[in-house]
């Protein structure tokens, strides 16, 4: 049974994301999937077939950087609303120390903020990686910007762009899995609310501040 | 194109090995700079045969015309006034710029579009524009700065070594038209022999440093230069050209495999973690009324 997924009437819910935040999040997600599939075709011939999803590789190559700009703009619009909740605190260090145990359900380290340290780490790594992908992508962008950069810069950008893309894949992979693993999380992004029990268990400090109730 | 699929020994972004059965003779074009008078007949012949018409540009104040290689100008005579070392005086060096048709082509290595760049068994490296997706990565791969990008159709172009002529037993158009014999075409072995004879002559005439340019860093080339003054850098040719280590890393089997392994391991790790640990569920009833 997954009680957190379906709430009986009158059950306590805590708002976690606004409609604007949720829609922006999903727009970023859609852009990411399209970017990842098109980038993969350019990285390894084994995946060249994904270019068929974009109406051929020549058009896919044209589309990819525009999608990248869309993701960049949407992601930072989204991330800007979240940064205060992602500042690392002392309790996050403790969480980091117990991370492996937490992943094995052997420990339940206290989380004070709206996000735990793992989520915060994800946030800041995406801040860096997406900026890096954007900048290196500009250097490679044909036909508009690439001619203004030296061959050396374009070579460096090509390697870095591919490297960062794989860091992003790992990051997003962990992010998606974590949302699936911790039942009751997904509704935060589909409905905007989480159950009171979910909030008390995963983010007790945040729950207390949101509801004015005492910390469980 | 009179080439057959059997003639293609190397193909960009391909997961299968192209046929290796055909052992064609490697061809080469020999550019003897000591015989070149800079008449640009080769440029005209290239335009004529390949049906290329560059835009009429402006005179930048030197003899180079057009001023650079373009998508419509696949070869350009470059004129350098060079003060020779050891007080040997002033020399006017004329270098026919264009693709060198490397044995280990960086453009082909960098290209992500299957079959957009091919290498024939005779050594010619050819762009197949119908497969080109316009990313410009061939430019990052080339150690000689040769491929040019057309803004008109967003495709890359360069010298084909007249692969269409060569495939039916003709020499490249530039070679056919050269009035001084500065250009020669034949098997690579013959061209190296010819260059060897010329180097002996040049050395006897006081060009002690005369040398053949066939850089090994790119596996040798199928366009060779006789450099009367020896030092490639006098002629603005790279001394030891190689595919940039960054491009080599980016397009290496190791990097590609590592990328794929990374993706696979994320999926595998997630799957087995879930199967081992199970989901984190919050018991609504149990935790609903803590007090």
* Residues A125-174 pLDDT 10s: 999 999 999 999 999 999 999 999 999 999 999 999 999 999 999 999 99
Rounded Cα–Cα distance for residues B286 and B290 (Å):
8
Highest CATH level, class, for A18-181 = mainly alpha
CA distance B181 to chain A (A): 35
Residue A92 β-bridge partners: none
Q: Which residues of A touch B279 (CB under 8 A)?
A: 180-183
Contact status of A43 with chain B (Cβ, < 8 Å) = yes
Q: What is the pLDDT of residues B25-82, one digit of tens each?
A: 899 999 999 999 999 999 999 999 999 999 998 988 889 999 999 999 999 999 999 9
pLDDT in tens, B176-230: 999 999 999 999 999 999 999 999 999 999 999 999 999 999 999 999 999 999 9
From the candidates A25, A44, A175, A202, give the one annotated as an active-site residue: A175
Q: Is A170 on the interface with B (CB under 8 A)?
A: yes
Dihedral pair phi/psi, residue B178, rounded to 5°: -60, 120
Q: Are A197 and A2 in contact (CB under 8 A)?
A: no
CB contact under 8 A, A103 and B262: no
Inter-chain residue contact A170 with B132, CB threshold 8 Å: no
Q: Name residues whose C-beta falls within 8 Å of residue A67's C-beta, 6 or more positions apart in sequence.
A: A31, A34, A35, A38
In this complex, do A154 and B139 lie within 8 Å of one another by their Cβ atoms? yes
Task: Pick from A2, A46, A47, A58 the residue to mutate for testing the B interface (most B CBs within 10 Å).
Answer: A58
Selected for mutation to probe chain A from B128, B141, B280, B286 (highest A CB count within 10 Å) is B280
**Whether residue A75 has pLDDT greater than 70:** yes
Is pLDDT at A88 greater than 60 in this prediction?
A: yes
pTM of the model: 0.90
| CA distance to partner chain B, nearest, from residue A84 (Å) | 27
Choices 2.60.120.10, 2.70.98.10, 3.30.70.20, 3.30.1050.10: CATH for B5-247: 3.30.70.20
ipTM, two decimals, is 0.89
Q: For Cα atoms B192, B194, B196, give the angle at the middle one, nearest 5 degrees.
A: 70
| Distance from C-alpha of B119 to C-alpha of B10, rounded to nearest angstrom | 5
- Which residues in A64-84 are b (16+ Cβ under 10 Å) and which e? bbebbebbbebbeebbeebee
Query: Known catalytic residue: A175?
Result: yes
DSSP labels, A52-63: GGGTSHHHHHHH
Phi and psi of B55, rounded to 5°?
Answer: -65, 145
Q: Is the pLDDT of residue B16 over 90?
A: no
Bridge partners for B129 per DSSP: none
Which residue ranges make up each domain of chain B?
A: 5-247
Per-domain boundaries in chain A: 18-181
Pair B210, B229: CB distance under 8 Å:
yes
Q: Which candidate, A13, A122, A138, A10, places its Cα nearest to that of A75?
A: A122
Measure A8 CA to nearest chain B CA, in Å: 10
Work out how many CB contacts closer than 8 A connect A with B.
138
Distance, in Å, from the CA atom of B162 to the CA atom of B49, rounded to the nearest integer, reads: 8
The number of beta carbons lying within 10 Å of the beta carbon of residue B118 is 25
Alpha-helical (H) ranges within chain A are 19-43, 57-80, 90-97, 99-103, 117-140, 151-181, 186-190, 196-202, 204-211
Q: What angle do CA B44, B47, B53 make, to 5 degrees?
A: 115
Q: Are B40 and B63 in contact (CB under 8 A)?
A: no
Chain A hits for B145, CB-CB cut-off 8 Å, are 151
Set of chain A residues whose Cβ sits within 8 Å of the Cβ of B139: 151, 154
Q: Do A45 and B112 count as a contact with CB atoms less than 8 A apart?
A: yes
Cβ of B287 within 8 Å of Cβ of A201? The answer is yes
């Amino acid at each position: 049974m997954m009680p957190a997924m379906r709430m009986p009437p009158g059950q306590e819910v805590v708002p976690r994301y606004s409609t604007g935040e949720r829609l922006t999040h999903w727009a970023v997600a859609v852009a990411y999937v399209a970017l990842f599939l098109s980038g993969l075709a350019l990285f390894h011939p084994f995946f060249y077939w994904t270019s068929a999803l974009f109406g051929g590789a020549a058009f896919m190559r044209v589309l990819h950087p525009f999608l990248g700009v869309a993701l960049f703009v949407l992601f930072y619009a989204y991330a800007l609303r979240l940064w205060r909740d992602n500042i690392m605190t002392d309790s996050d260090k403790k969480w980091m120390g117990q991370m492996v145990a937490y992943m094995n359900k052997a420990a339940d380290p206290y989380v004070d903020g709206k996000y735990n340290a793992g989520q915060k780490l994800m946030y800041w790594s995406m801040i860096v990686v997406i900026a890096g992908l954007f900048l290196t992508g500009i250097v490679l962008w044909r036909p508009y910007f690439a001619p203004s950069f030296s061959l050396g810069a374009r070579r460096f950008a090509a390697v870095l762009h591919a490297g960062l893309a794989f860091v992003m894949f790992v990051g997003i992979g962990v992010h998606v899995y974590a949302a699936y693993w911790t039942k009751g999380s997904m509704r935060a992004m589909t409905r905007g609310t989480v159950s009171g029990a979910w909030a008390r268990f995963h983010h007790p400090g945040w729950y207390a501040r949101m509801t004015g109730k005492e910390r469980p | 194109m009179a080439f057959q699929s059997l003639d293609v020994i190397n193909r960009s972004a391909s997961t299968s090995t192209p046929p290796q059965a055909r052992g064609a003779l490697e061809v080469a074009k020999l550019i003897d700079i000591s015989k070149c008078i800079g008449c640009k007949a080769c440029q005209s012949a290239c335009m004529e045969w390949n049906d290329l018409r560059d835009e009429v540009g402006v005179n930048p104040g030197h003899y180079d015309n057009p001023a650079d290689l373009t998508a419509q100008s696949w070869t350009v005579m470059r004129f350098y006034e060079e003060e020779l070392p050891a007080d040997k005086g002033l020399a006017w060096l004329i270098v026919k710029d264009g693709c060198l048709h490397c044995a280990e082509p960086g453009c082909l290595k960098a290209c992500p579009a299957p079959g957009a760049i091919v290498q024939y068994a005779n050594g010619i490296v050819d762009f197949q524009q119908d497969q080109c997706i316009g990313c410009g990565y061939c430019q990052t791969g080339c150690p000689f700065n040769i491929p040019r990008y057309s803004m008109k159709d967003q495709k890359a172009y360069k010298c084909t070594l007249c692969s269409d002529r060569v495939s039916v037993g003709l020499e490249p158009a530039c070679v056919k038209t050269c009035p001084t014999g500065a250009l020669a075409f034949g098997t690579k072995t013959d061209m190296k022999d010819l260059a060897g004879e010329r180097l002996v002559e040049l050395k006897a005439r006081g060009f002690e440093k005369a040398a053949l340019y066939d850089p090994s860093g790119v596996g040798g080339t199928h366009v060779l230069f006789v450099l009367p003054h020896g030092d490639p850098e006098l002629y603005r040719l790279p001394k030891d050209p190689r595919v940039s280590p960054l491009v080599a890393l980016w397009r290496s089997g190791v990097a590609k495999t590592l990328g794929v392994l990374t993706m696979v391991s994320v999926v595998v790790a997630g799957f087995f973690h879930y199967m081992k640990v199970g989901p984190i569920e919050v018991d609504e009833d149990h935790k609903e009324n803590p007090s």
